[in-house]
């Protein structure tokens, strides 16, 4: 999943970007509040990690302004300020979660996954469609009880489709979720990954909506 990281500390920002990438996130990193606000307005990020002490425009102001603009991207506030009033202010301004430095990378990743699940109305950690179960934390897929090995991009594409089950996603929307800045996208990349997923998981899971895009059907609630 693609996230925005807004952090002005070069060492911390570089470490977070590298660590989150190793855990399967696609990370765009900005270093000031104006850039963070601009990117949140322009790109469909799954979530954002927003430091409070940003130059040019502090994180609280960025948060307040993007929420006033109707942007609903889940935001995890990252700060060295551990006072209760600061936490309350951030949450009241529209933050979805709050983490105080120093940060445990695995906890940060788990909190981001939880924010994204909730934003998509997915209460369970694992996503299920037909006989396929996808575990975002373990980055694993099982079909009818049998593990299936997917390439990284195949997993990310399937994750995006299952997270948005019941919704048709265009090729452009899928590309936006799969690639961070500076990653070249070939014109048929999504189609190639869909072909590979169907070969590994069967043709029935991913539906083609002609002239629009692709979708995974939403699971019916179990009685």
- What is the CB neighbour count within 10 angstroms for residue 69? 11
**Based on the domain organization, do 137 and 41 belong to the same domain?**
no
> Is-contact 51 7, C-beta < 8 A?
yes
Parent domain of 200: 127-216
Look-up of token digits 């936490």: 87
pTM, whole model, 2 decimals? 0.83
pLDDT averaged per 10 residues, the chain (length 223): 94 95 93 96 93 92 94 91 76 88 92 92 88 94 96 92 92 80 63 94 94 85 47
CATH number of residue 183's parent domain: 1.10.10.10
Is 222 domain-assigned?
Answer: no
CATH number of residue 108's parent domain: 3.40.50.2300
> Is-contact 62 39, C-beta < 8 A?
no
Asked whether the CA dihedral 154, 155, 160, 165 is positive or negative, the reply is positive
Is 174 domain-assigned?
Answer: yes
Is 173 domain-assigned?
Answer: yes
Last residue of a domain, one of 119, 149, 170: 119
**Based on the domain organization, do 161 and 97 belong to the same domain?**
no
How many helices (H) and strands (E) would you count in the chain? 8, 11
pLDDT in tens, 192-211: 999 999 999 999 999 999 98
Q: What is the tally of structural domains in the chain?
A: 2
pLDDT in tens, 55-88: 999 999 999 999 999 999 999 998 877 777 777 8
**Based on the domain organization, do 113 and 137 belong to the same domain?**
no
Asked whether the CA dihedral 192, 193, 197, 200 is positive or negative, the reply is positive
**Based on the domain organization, do 9 and 114 belong to the same domain?**
yes
Last residue of a domain, one of 119, 139, 173: 119
């Amino acid at each position: 999943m693609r996230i925005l990281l807004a952090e002005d500390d070069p060492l911390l920002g570089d470490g977070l970007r590298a660590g989150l990438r190793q855990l399967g996130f696609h990370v765009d990193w900005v270093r000031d509040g104006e850039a963070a606000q601009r990117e949140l307005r322009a790109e469909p990020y799954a979530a954002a990690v927003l430091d409070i002490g940003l130059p040019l425009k502090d994180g609280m102001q960025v948060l307040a302004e993007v929420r006033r603009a109707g942007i609903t991207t889940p935001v995890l506030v990252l700060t060295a300020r551990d006072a209760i009033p600061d936490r309350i202010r951030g949450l009241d301004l529209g933050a979805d979660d709050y983490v105080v430095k120093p940060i445990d990378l695995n906890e940060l990743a788990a909190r981001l996954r939880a924010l994204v699940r909730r934003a998509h109305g997915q209460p369970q950690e694992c996503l299920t469609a037909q006989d396929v179960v996808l575990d975002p934390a373990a980055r694993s897929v099982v079909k009818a009880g049998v593990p299936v090995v997917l390439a990284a991009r195949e997993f990310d594409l399937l994750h995006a489709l299952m997270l948005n089950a019941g919704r048709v996603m265009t090729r452009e929307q899928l590309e936006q979720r799969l690639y961070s800045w500076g990653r070249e996208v070939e014109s048929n990349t999504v189609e190639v990954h869909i072909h590979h997923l169907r070969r590994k998981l069967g043709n029935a899971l991913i539906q083609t909506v002609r002239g629009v895009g692709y979708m995974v059907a939403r699971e019916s609630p179990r009685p």
